[in-house]
Chain A
Amino acid sequence: GENVEQHPSTLSVQEGDSAVIKCTYSDSASNYFPWYKQELGKRPQLIIDIRSNVGEKKDQRIAVTLNKTAKHFSLHITETQPEDSAVYFCAASPNNDMRFGAGTRLTVKP
Chain B
Amino acid sequence: SQTIHQWPATLVQPVGSPLSLECTVEGTSNPNLYWYRQAAGRGLQLLFYSVGIGQISSEVPQNLSASRPQDRQFILSSKKLLLSDSGFYLCAWSHGSLGSYTFGSGTRLTVV
Contact = CB atoms under 8 A, between A and B. Distances in A.
Contacts of A97: 46, 49, 57, 59
Contact of B101 (A41, A42, A46, A103): A46
Contacts of A34: 100-101
- In which size bucket is the chain A interface? 20 to 34
Interface of B: 32, 34, 36, 42-44, 46, 49, 51, 57, 59, 90, 94, 97-98, 100-106, 108
Please classify the interface of chain A as helix (H, G, I), strand (E, B), loop, or mixed, using the class held by over half of its residues.
loop
A93 B104 contact: no
15 contacts: A32-B98, A34-B101, A36-B101, A42-B105, A43-B105, A45-B103, A46-B102, A93-B97, A93-B98, A96-B32, A96-B49, A96-B57, A97-B49, A99-B46, A101-B43
Interface in A86-108: 89, 91, 93, 95-103
